[in-house]
Amino acid sequence: MENTFFMTFNDLGLSAELLRAVSEQGYDTPTPIQAQAIPAVLQGGDIMAGAQTGTGKTAGFTLPLLQRLSANTKKGKFRPVRALVLAPTRELAAQVGDSIRTYGKHVPLRSGIVYGGVSIQPQKQFLRRGVDILVATPGRLLDLVNQRAVNLNKVEILVLDEADRMLDMGFIHDIRRVMELLPQQRQNLLFSATFSNDIKKLADDLLHQPKLIEVARRNTASERVAQTVHPVDKSRKRALLSYLIRSQKWGQTLVFTRTKHGADRLTKQLGQDEISAVAIHGDKSQAARTKALGDFKRGKFQILVATDIAARGLDIDQLPHVVNFELPHVPEDYVHRIGRTGRAGNEGEAVSLVCGEEKKQLREIERLLKKAVPKVVIEGYKPMEEEPKKAAAPKGQGPRGRKPGNGNARPDGRAPGGKRSGYGKRTNSTSKNRGYRTPTRSKRNQAAAPAN
């Protein structure tokens, strides 16, 4: 691996306009993923790049993308889409769009963002005026294609950002439909925090002799994030969370729940504890989600309660704490959740409140991380001991110590009349229901007579 310790952005081959924009943001040293990805993208080949979340992947493809397009600016009134960035969520699409505007402020390129949850008409209007770079979620992009509001036959660069998340969300068919609309000759960039077998298969179909860039072991959490598990009973999680927020004087904190209903309920409960909180999840309109995130960033609310829709795409400066109120079902989502803290060289803390029924998820997370997460029991919140298992019944006996079967059943499970009685099944007391007929009087007398 190339030594990037003493490298600066001036060493990456970026234009003066881009270096100026980077400098205005206060950056002079690239992160490892940026130091390796930017020169590779500038060379024009396909890239498959992975790095821990929060390490600057977005700028890793945004800066060279702007450089390549601005070196050959298209003249004329109509501007076809020349670069397409696909993102899994509205929040991530908005973040990428902001990055493109920030770093591209001094180059003559237009960009736009399209995603669902908002009116499609304004998006159709700015697309008619033309954009060089389009950031989109797959579903809304295909809606616009179907309405003939956008044409993708001039795309030179395709970027799949957080491709593993798009597969998790079921976008694989939409991605393949989009790929069919693109020119055969193009540069493909696949950026992701994790690589799965499905991602490798997609890369085989999408990329041509790609350069693989990995600056850290796959599926790992940032070493700048201190991780802790607090065992606690499920019914006492909310009380423990409020206690931690108060006793440890936490500032801004991002709390993850599994469900939308759970996020709303926890937000209300924290409010009852006089802790200011706001929820963000998929049932909220885009305007409500944007406002909630903005209010949280401005400090109006101390706690942001979110579902996994916020596990990626949320870029919050100086976020010190992330809490897993409930562990995710997919262990990779744990990595993305706690990656919201410890970003841009800052330290972070990730706390997980784990009840007994979540032990399986915790084992899977630790297997993914290849290490155990430290467990700390908070005084006064020690979980109740599990009930001892009931002793097994003696061999050959039923659950109450009786031999299996009813009183009339033979060892082979058949009733005296030759019909199967049902092993261990309770029967009525009448002989008719036992499965055999009552002998006639003459036959009873014959049975009682001595043999000749």
DSSP string, 145-188: HHTT----TT--EEEEETHHHHHHTT-HHHHHHHHHTS-SS-EE
Higher pLDDT, 403 or 256: 256
- Report the pLDDT value the prediction gives residue 2, as an integer from 0 to 100: 47
Q: Which domains does the chain have, with CATH numbers?
A: 9-214 (3.40.50.300), 225-369 (3.40.50.300), 397-452 (no CATH)
The three-class DSSP label of residue 192 is strand
User: Cα–Cα distance between 402 and 396 in angstroms, integer?
Assistant: 9
| CB distance 367 to 331 below 8 Å | yes
Would you say residue 196 has pLDDT above 80? Answer: no
Q: pLDDT exceeding 90 applies to what percent of the chain?
A: 52
Predicted model pTM: 0.63
The predicted model gives 344-350 an average pLDDT of 78
The predicted model gives 272-301 an average pLDDT of 88
- Report the pLDDT value the prediction gives residue 211, as an integer from 0 to 100: 93
Region of 336 (left: φ > 0; alpha: ψ -120 to 50; beta: rest) is alpha
- Report the pLDDT value the prediction gives residue 432, as an integer from 0 to 100: 42
Q: Band the pLDDT of 368: cuts 50, 70, 90.
A: confident
Would you say residue 143 has pLDDT above 70? Answer: yes
Task: Quick: pLDDT tens for 405-443.
Answer: 444 444 344 444 444 444 444 444 444 444 444 444 444
Task: Quick: pLDDT tens for 33-54.
Answer: 899 999 999 999 999 998 666 6
The predicted model gives 205-213 an average pLDDT of 91
Lowest mean pLDDT among 84-88, 94-98, 136-140, 412-416: 412-416
Q: pLDDT exceeding 70 applies to what percent of the chain?
A: 77
The three-class DSSP label of residue 278 is strand
Q: Band the pLDDT of 293: cuts 50, 70, 90.
A: confident
- Report the pLDDT value the prediction gives residue 315, as an integer from 0 to 100: 66
Q: Percent helix, strand and coil across the chain, each rounded to 5?
A: 35, 15, 50
